[in-house]
Amino acid sequence: MNEKKEKQLSFKDKLKEILSEEELKKVKTAFDVIGDIAILEIDDELRNKEEKIAKILLSCHKNINTVVRKDSEHKGKYRRQKMKYLAGIDKKETLHKENNTWLYVNVEDVYYSPRLANERKRIINQVKKDENVLVMFSGLGPYTTQISKNTNAKRIVGIEINPKGHKLSILNTKKNKLKNVELYNGDVNKILPKLIKKPIIGLKAGYQKNHLNAKFKNTKTDILEIYLSKGDLENDYDNFVESLKELKKKIKHIIIHSPYFYKGYEVCPSCGIKEIEKTTKECFDLLEKTCKKLDLFGFVAHPYTSPDSNKKRKFNGKEYGYKKIYFEKFFSKNKYQYLMIENLIFYFFSKVSNMINLTKKYNLKFCLDLAHLYGSSKTEEEFYDKFMKLSKITNYYHIADAKYLNIPYNKLKTEHSFEVGKGNINFNKLIPFIDIGICEVTNKDELNPIEMLSSYEKLNKIETKFDRILMPLPKSAEDFLELALDSSKKGTIIHFYDFLHEDEFDLAKDKIKKACDKKKLKFKILDLVKCGQHSPRTYRICVDFMII
Ligand SMILES: C[S@@+](CC[C@H](N)C(=O)[O-])C[C@H]1O[C@@H](n2cnc3c(N)ncnc32)[C@H](O)[C@@H]1O
């Protein structure tokens, strides 16, 4: 037989050369192809010929470089399937194209089925402009990437418990150059409650009547940070305390921001100059005492005064700087229960390791200023990465937007913090991890803080519930129905997957009814579709329903 003719022979024809009539009947000639990997199912009785079968398959399809065989059912928490290598290049990872996206797939480490491509297309076709979409069990990201690539959804969130699946979904998001996908690694039971809760976000003001009036004409807040200017604490302490007492009657959490100067000296626990550290101690002691007496949330102070106004500080004509060792000396002698030390843009309190180690070592609370963190980061990725690490030790946030990474000194004073929405920070990504914080005053006119009030409104309006929720975990998706309902609002569409015998499709609707009744929610079934066969007369189905 010449080579051309041989290639034209089909897989089945060629198998006749090595299998008997009986054996041929047992061969499943249909197989899945993922990228350049073919996945065969081979009967136990044909196992002694499986490598020969695989080689024949390889010779019939020039696009296939590897042949493997299913070696188990989908099993375990991660729904993984074992694959046995049979022929061609020995590998499990490939690049696959589906619905206009490229996907890196590891056929063994993470669940993925190319047979669901049509179901994914069905969902894609339903997604409307500006929707917030949640994929509860996102795997290596087929739904998240394809919805992002093919629709005008606003935000697509994927949660996946398998770390290898999560890693691949990050890679797939990058490969397809997608910007509106957010991915979380972990159990939906732990991650989702954080994503849907609303943080307590408040405002910042001076304690004087004119400052307070300007900020609270039309706004009610549960949390307020009071800032102190040069001289306030020394010369006007009684009025300051009276004002705090009044505010305490209306506002749940009050924070004080330490002044930058006290008794004429910089407030600085890390310069090593005796006189300065003495007045700093006096200032902190007074603030600590005030917080304790009035039952306030705490007070914020810098490890050194932000050097934006005067790069080089002088004491008795001599220049001085800020050192970690002096900070350590100060806090090994002085203990504060209410003090929250704030991260800055330069020097030792801009470094994640210092913030974590020093706050732990000296039992200090921590205030994370987002604009400072952004200004001290070299890339966006570094900013989000640092945020995730620091959010674990943060007690309280200063919230502002920012535009400049690695901010140069000359832009510090005027351009390090902006109104929310006017910079580059994606607050949707951060809000789930913020419990409590205030919007920073970002404009110069503190008595007319339009930008801060606008930031406050924008953040309080961020929608934490989803417009569409996908639950692609047949068999046990019902265990997560209540969580999905907690993450929904009126109008949310939920796609609930199940494996059911064709006589029992209504059971899926019963599961939905039971969960909605428990949560006292009304719903409407929109559709019930078959999206694949699981076993004879048993199907993977999807019920689409809406919260009404
Ligand atoms: C059937 S797969 C679907 C994956 C993906 N959506 C797809 O269509 O290819 C279900 C996925 O849910 C993940 N999973 C199971 N329990 C989970 C949980 N409690 N939280 C988050 N992910 C979970 C599994 O690791 C698995 O990757």
pLDDT of amino acid 441: 84
Please give the single-letter amino acid code of residue 451. Answer: E
Q: What percent of the chain has pLDDT over 90?
A: 75
CA–CA gap between residue 261 and residue 249 (Å, rounded): 29
pLDDT of amino acid 328: 97
The residue ranking higher by pLDDT, 440 or 188, is 188
Q: Which is nearest to 469 in space by CA: 453, 450, 483?
A: 483
Mean pLDDT of the region 270-277: 94
Residue 443 has pLDDT above 80, yes or no: no
Confidence (pTM) = 0.79
Q: Ligand 1 pocket: which of 112, 136, 147, 473 to mutate (most atoms <8 Å of CB)?
A: 473
Q: Ligand 1 pocket: which of 147, 161, 190, 531 to mutate (most atoms <8 Å of CB)?
A: 161
Q: Which is nearest to 442 in space by CA: 407, 409, 402, 397?
A: 402
Looking at ligand 1, which atom is closest to the CA of residue 110? 27
Residue 219 has pLDDT above 70, yes or no: no
Query: Per residue in 9-49, pLDDT tens?
Result: 688 888 888 888 888 888 888 899 999 999 999 988 889 99
Average pLDDT across the chain, whole number: 92
Tally of CB atoms within 10 A around 253: 18
Nearest CA to ligand 1 atom 9: 112
Mean pLDDT of the region 212-234: 83
Token digits for 227?
């800032």
Beta bridge partners of 542: 497, 529
Q: Ligand 1 pocket: which of 145, 160, 478 to mutate (most atoms <8 Å of CB)?
A: 160
Mean pLDDT of the region 188-210: 90
Longest dimension (CA), the chain: 104
- List residues near ligand 1 (CB under 6 A): 77-79, 111-112, 116, 137-139, 142-143, 159-162, 165, 187-189, 472-473
Ligand 1: distance of its center to the CA of 166 in Å? 10
CA–CA gap between residue 283 and residue 443 (Å, rounded): 27
213 pLDDT tier (thresholds 50, 70, 90): confident
Nearest CA to ligand 1 atom 5: 139
Ligand 1: distance of its center to the CA of 137 in Å? 4
Ligand 1: distance of its center to the CA of 538 in Å? 21
Query: Per residue in 327-383, pLDDT tens?
Result: 999 999 999 999 999 999 988 999 999 999 999 999 999 999 999 999 999 999 999
Q: Which is nearest to 207 in space by CA: 166, 172, 255, 165?
A: 255
SS3 107: coil
Query: Per residue in 383-402, pLDDT tens?
Result: 999 999 999 999 999 999 99
Phi, psi dihedrals of residue 216, rounded to the nearest 5°: -115, 20
